[in-house]
Amino acid sequence: MKFCSRCGANVKLSIPPGDNRQRFVCTSCGEIHYQNPKLVTGCIPEWEDRVLLCRRAIEPRYGLWTLPAGFMENEESAQQGAARETLEEANARVSIEQLYTTFNLPHISQVYLLFRGSLKDLDFSPGSESLEVALFREEEIPWEELAFPVIRETLKHYFQDRENGLFIPRVGDIHWQSGKNGAYTVTLLENDS
């Protein structure tokens, strides 16, 4: 950030009085520009023993499979955002149910809120951000072609919980570890294991 969105003057990084971290502060009007994590919301669209996945038509991770999800918009709830993203990416209508997983991704300043959702009907098709959409049983999930760790972790727990007959909401952190192979670690709150 170089300029203040309020008055157009230059900004500089400094720690505002009473704060404990650097922020962009306007050198003219004093406006403090906070930068906060992005919220991503989506759902697991369920139909009987299958879930709906979307094959991405956009970067990042073009061509890989994911659950319908995306950034929340202003003036909508997380549930509304999950339903909207499902409609946009899969032309599918869902009833949003339980908040199922909340994952913090500090390395990219994002928080994922994924809900369980029931498909209202089988009238779905690829939206503009999807190459294709399809229903999958657990044994059909393209595990090696999933786009993001948060999707893999959510589906892994979803199928375990479905087998046990009890869906347990989970909260955790996903940390990326750079290196030769690039890997991630998942830490769940203790009572969510």
pLDDT at 60 over 50: yes
The pTM of the full predicted model, rounded to 2 decimals, is: 0.89
Residues 21 and 104 in one domain: no
The pLDDT score that the predictor gives to residue 179 is 62
**Residue partners of 98: CB distance under 8 A and separation at least 6:** 115, 116, 167, 169
The pLDDT score that the predictor gives to residue 193 is 46
The pLDDT score that the predictor gives to residue 97 is 96
Residues 14 and 93 in one domain: no
CA nearest to 41, candidates 91, 97, 90, 84: 84
Residues 11 and 67 in one domain: no
The pLDDT score that the predictor gives to residue 147 is 96
Residues 71 and 166 in one domain: yes
| Nearest-angstrom CA–CA distance, 151 and 31 | 38
Residues 1 and 57 in one domain: no
pLDDT (mean) for 94-107: 97
Residues 46 and 28 in one domain: no
Q: Are 155 and 44 in contact (CB under 8 A)?
A: yes
Mean pLDDT estimate for the chain: 95
Residues 88 and 123 in one domain: yes
Residues 112 and 156 in one domain: yes
Q: Which residue has the higher pLDDT, 191 or 61?
A: 61
Share of the chain above pLDDT 90, in %: 93
The pLDDT score that the predictor gives to residue 182 is 66
Residues 89 and 75 in one domain: yes
CATH number for 82: 3.90.79.10
> Could you give the dihedral angle defined by the CA atoms of residues 160, 147, 170 and 40, in that order, rounded to the nearest 10 degrees?
-150
The pLDDT score that the predictor gives to residue 180 is 56
Residues in the chain: 193
pLDDT at 192 over 70: no
Q: What is the pLDDT of residues 125-172, one digit of tens each?
A: 999 999 999 999 999 999 999 999 999 999 999 999 999 999 999 999
Q: Which residue has the higher pLDDT, 181 or 74?
A: 74
Q: Which residue has the higher pLDDT, 98 or 190?
A: 98
Question: Would you state the structure tokens that stand for residue 69, as one six-digit string?
Answer: 């999800």
Residues 51 and 139 in one domain: yes
CATH number for 7: 2.20.70.10
pLDDT (mean) for 84-95: 98
Query: Computed from CA positions of residues 27, 30, 35, 41, in that sequence, does the dihedral angle turn out positive or negative?
Result: negative
With bands split at pLDDT 50, 70 and 90, how would you rate the model's confidence at 31?
very high
Residues 31 and 84 in one domain: no
pLDDT (mean) for 173-193: 77
Residue 106 structural domain: 38-192
Q: How many domains does the chain have?
A: 2
pLDDT at 12 over 50: yes
Residues 92 and 74 in one domain: yes
